[in-house]
Chain A
Amino acid sequence: MSGVRVLVGTHKGGFVLTADGKRKHWDVAGPHFAGWEVYHVKGSPVEPNRLYASQTSGWFGQIIQRSDDGGKTWETAGNEFKYDGVPGTHQWYDGTQHPWEFKRVWHLEPSLTDPDTVYAGAEDAALFRSADGGQTWQEISGLRQHGSGPKWQPGAGGMCLHTIVLDPSQPGRIFIAISAAGAFRTDDGGATWKPINRGLRSTSIPDPDAEVGHCVHRIAMHPSRPGVLFMQKHWDVMRSDDAGDTWHEVSGNLPTDFGFPIEVHAHEPETIYVVPIKSDSEHYPPEGKLRVYRSRTGGNEWEALTNGLPQSDCYVNVLRDAMAVDALDSCGVYFGTTGGQVYGSADAGDSWAPIVRDLPAVLSVEVQTLP
């Protein structure tokens, strides 16, 4: 029988949650890398037992871990992330220029075709690639050398490259997003990049329609329609129907259009999910009610999904990488909170139940659908 494996990164370790296809009874394994921040864990789509994990610490820096047995055992991989050439400078919080400094890996994106190839999104913002299972890393420096780098600036969480979306229909096409620079696309495997932020409007920057400087929180794509992108921006939920060349707002009737994650249903490319958060300073659900919002129309028309979620006194946040879907029928949806709960829905969001309630603050959630 098929099953799912939920890979959870938290402030104090990583966890692996597994269940059969019914998704009712869960086995919880961990913490792996106890005491370390685990920003992200993700499996190879072509070899699901190959997992990569980003393990970091303010004391000891960055570690990359690799598993070949679905997360039961781990081996350290390479952790040298060296910017290509002279790193240059970006804008600092006070408006001065500040040199690029590697801090941590926010996101690991395994290749769609080769289990030994994996991309890493770093803070300070840069994209790295390994073709040897994470042993050595090379910067894809065309992104940082695009020319707009001096205008990039850190968001509240740091200047991180947090989203990497690989286009299954065009091997050379990659979308990335940076807080706070915006979204970028390459069509030639990373040699050249262009900002894809037309249509974004951010009132917290001097030119609201600027080419770069937007605080994009997350981008999602359905693999069957790689030209359609959905974005949760700092404020505003956005949609593009031309691979990011232009965007339009689809926040519609959301109670607030601030938030972090955005995700697409595994089988319905027009069904999307967000978790509205009250504001950029009040990082919790409006009215203390934890609600996932689902649109079955690709945006604009949203319905609140509340069954099984706390509807009073709930003041947790859901971070940008902390939502994912499985590919079972019906589609499972999962998200983790800064309060340490991981909620799952086996019916596309109609009802929810906590898988675990008391983990450390959840930084990321990924899901693997197993044969």
Chain B
Amino acid sequence: MIRVELPSHLRKLARVAGELELQVDGPVTVETVLDALEERYPMLRGTIRDHGTKRRRAFMRFFACEQDLSHEPPDSPLPEAVAQGREPLLIVGAMAGG
């Protein structure tokens, strides 16, 4: 299972507490994890990436294993520790005031 941590606003929107676990079939990438996330929690569609283009929203970040993966192509494999469920994929709202 892939572990995913959402920002608190999106946890509230999806009505979940704490970390999520998602089943991802095939390669584990940001794209496939978000596909699985949006399939299970359709209210999150459009909040992390654009509905149509699937581009990451400007102030969203993807971190894992102390690395910023936000600017990697969305079909790049995530670190092995994420794919094996040892580390979570962190979906983070960028620090931008507010």
Q: Kindly list chain B residues whose C-beta atoms are within 8 Å of the C-beta of A79.
A: 45-47, 51
Decide if B57 touches A59 in the complex (CB within 8 Å). yes
Mask for A52-74, Cβ within 8 A of B = 1, else 0?
Answer: 00000111111100000000000
Given contacts A58-B96, A61-B57, A82-B52, contact A36 B45 (CB under 8 A): no
Given contacts A80-B51, A82-B51, A82-B52, contact A61 B46 (CB under 8 A): yes
Closest to B15 in A: A76
Q: Kindly list chain A residues whose C-beta atoms are within 8 Å of the C-beta of B98.
A: 58-59
Decide if A76 touches B13 in the complex (CB within 8 Å). yes
Query: In the docked arrangement, what's the CA distance between A36 and B13, Å?
Result: 11
Task: Please tell me if A308 contacts chain B, counting CB pairs below 8 Å.
Answer: no
Contact of B9 among A59, A62, A80, A82 (CB under 8 A): A59
Q: Kindly list chain A residues whose C-beta atoms are within 8 Å of the C-beta of B52.
A: 82
Dominant SS at the B interface? loop
Give the most central of A36, A60, A62: most B CB within 10 Å.
A60
Q: Kindly list chain A residues whose C-beta atoms are within 8 Å of the C-beta of B43.
A: 63, 76
Mask for B23-52, Cβ within 8 A of A = 1, else 0?
Answer: 000000000000000000001011110011
The total of chain B residues at the interface (CB under 8 A) is 18
The total of chain A residues at the interface (CB under 8 A) is 13
Task: Please tell me if A150 contacts chain B, counting CB pairs below 8 Å.
Answer: no
Q: Kindly list chain A residues whose C-beta atoms are within 8 Å of the C-beta of B57.
A: 59-61
Closest to A77 in B: B43
Task: Please tell me if B94 contacts chain A, counting CB pairs below 8 Å.
Answer: yes
Decide if B51 touches A63 in the complex (CB within 8 Å). no
Query: In the docked arrangement, what's the CA distance between A35 and B97, Å?
Result: 12
Q: Kindly list chain B residues whose C-beta atoms are within 8 Å of the C-beta of A76.
A: 13, 43
Give, as a whole number of angstroms, the nearest-CB distance from A315 to chain B. Answer: 23
Given contacts A35-B9, A76-B13, A80-B51, contact A59 B45 (CB under 8 A): no
Decide if B10 touches A60 in the complex (CB within 8 Å). yes
Q: Kindly list chain A residues whose C-beta atoms are within 8 Å of the C-beta of B10.
A: 60
Query: In the docked arrangement, what's the CA distance between A62 and B59, Å?
Result: 14
Q: Kindly list chain B residues whose C-beta atoms are within 8 Å of the C-beta of A61.
A: 46-47, 57
Dominant SS at the A interface? loop
Q: Kindly list chain A residues whose C-beta atoms are within 8 Å of the C-beta of B48.
A: 60
Closest to B47 in A: A60
Given contacts A80-B51, A82-B52, contact A57 B9 (CB under 8 A): yes
Give, as a whole number of angstroms, the nearest-CB distance from B40 to chain A. Answer: 14
Query: In the docked arrangement, what's the CA distance between A80 and B59, Å?
Result: 19
Query: In the docked arrangement, what's the CA distance between A76 and B45, Å?
Result: 11
Task: Please tell me if B79 contacts chain A, counting CB pairs below 8 Å.
Answer: no
Decide if A36 touches B9 in the complex (CB within 8 Å). yes
Query: In the docked arrangement, what's the CA distance between A35 and B11, Å?
Result: 13
Decide if A58 touches B9 in the complex (CB within 8 Å). no
Decide if B96 touches A59 in the complex (CB within 8 Å). yes
Give the most central of A58, A59, A61, A80: most B CB within 10 Å.
A59
Given contacts A35-B9, A82-B51, A82-B52, contact A59 B46 (CB under 8 A): no
Query: In the docked arrangement, what's the CA distance between A36 and B96, Å?
Result: 14
Task: Please tell me if B93 contacts chain A, counting CB pairs below 8 Å.
Answer: yes
Contact of A62 among B7, B46, B93 (CB under 8 A): B46
Query: In the docked arrangement, what's the CA distance between A76 and B46, Å?
Result: 12
Task: Please tell me if B20 contacts chain A, counting CB pairs below 8 Å.
Answer: no
Q: 14 A-B residue contacts at CB 8 Å?
A: A36-B9, A57-B9, A58-B59, A58-B98, A59-B7, A59-B59, A59-B60, A59-B96, A60-B9, A60-B13, A60-B47, A76-B43, A79-B45, A80-B51
Q: Which 10 A-B pairs have the closest CB atoms?
A: A76-B43, A60-B47, A59-B93, A59-B59, A80-B51, A79-B46, A61-B46, A61-B47, A58-B59, A61-B57
Q: Known A-B contacts: A58-B59, A59-B59. Give 12 more (CB < 8 A).
A: A57-B9, A58-B98, A59-B96, A59-B98, A60-B47, A60-B48, A61-B47, A76-B13, A79-B46, A79-B51, A80-B51, A82-B52
Residues of A within 8 A of B (CB): 35-36, 57-63, 76, 79-80, 82
